[in-house]
Amino acid sequence: MIRIALITLVILGMMVLGSAITLYLLKEHRLQQHAEREATIAEIGEKYAMVFLRNLRRQRLRVIKEQGPVAGFEFCSDNALAITLAAEDSLPSGVKIKRTSLKYRNPDNAPSPAEIEALEFFEDTFQHQFTPPEYYLQTIGDSLHPRYNYYKPLKIEGLCMHCHGTETTIPPKVQQLLTDYYPEDKATGYQPNDFRGVVRVTIPAELIP
């Protein structure tokens, strides 16, 4: 009697253990799938962000080198938005691109609540981490039409100081244009390596393989 009870107990124990191991492996598998999908979204987001950034940086640098920071300022003012739209046009349909910041210059670039969440994440990590994360991801839209927001952080570099720096780095003529064009400007006073803002790339879920 006792022997039968013991054998039953061992068999039951093995079944429970077996189920627990299966559940654990399934969960691991799902986590791995999730991480792989996240990596794919990030890879695509980065690629699209760079299509836009490379174009903007190349054109801005050329104008500044050939005509100086005042012409560069006017160039950014007149063309930054058009360059964003041109990048969207060259990418698969449904992809959206925006530059935004908590301290924005152009009120048209002001952040939405979802963007504020991402911007605050980077503000915090740039202050507290030696190597801040390379991106931030969000799922938006409804379950029928999910979309992903990929955020790429932008850091202040030497060149940016002409137009986003301090009195010692912003030429007086640029300062004058700033006051004329953007009386509510929040985007000065930066130092090199400061977190400046993000490029946001929205990718419809159906574009993720």
52 near ligand HEC, rule: CB under 6 A: no
Which of 8-16, 21-29, 72-80, 114-122 is the region at the interface with ligand HEC (rule: CB under 6 A)? 72-80
Residue facing ligand HEC at closest CB distance: 160
Task: Indicate the angle between helix axes 172-181 and 69-90, nearest 10 degrees.
Answer: 50
Distance of alpha carbon 177 from alpha carbon 73, whole angstroms: 8
Q: How many residues does the chain have?
A: 209
Q: Pick the binder of ligand HEC from 45, 72, 153, 165 (CB under 6 A).
A: 72
| Complex with ligand HEC: residue 44 or 163, whichever CB lies closer | 163
Run of H or E residues at 138: strand 136-140
137 near ligand HEC, rule: CB under 6 A: no
Task: Indicate the angle between helix axes 2-67 and 69-90, nearest 10 degrees.
Answer: 140
DSSP per-residue string spanning 63-130:
HHHHH-HHHHHHHHHHHHHHHHHHHHHHS-TT-EEEEE-SS-SSGGGPPPHHHHHHHHHHHHHHHH-S
197 near ligand HEC, rule: CB under 6 A: yes
Q: Pick the binder of ligand HEC from 52, 104, 136, 195 (CB under 6 A).
A: 104
Q: Pick the binder of ligand HEC from 97, 99, 119, 188 (CB under 6 A).
A: 99
CB of 146 to ligand HEC, least distance (A): 26
Q: How many CA atoms lie within 13 A of 140 on its CB side?
A: 17
81 near ligand HEC, rule: CB under 6 A: yes
Interaction pattern, residues 106-135, with ligand HEC; x per rule: CB under 6 A: x--x--------------------------
Query: Which residues touch 59 (CB under 8 Å, ≥6 apart)?
Result: 75, 79, 83
Q: Which residues bind to ligand HEC, rule: CB under 6 A?
A: 64, 69, 72-73, 76-77, 80-81, 99-101, 104-106, 109, 154, 156-157, 159-160, 162-164, 187, 196-197
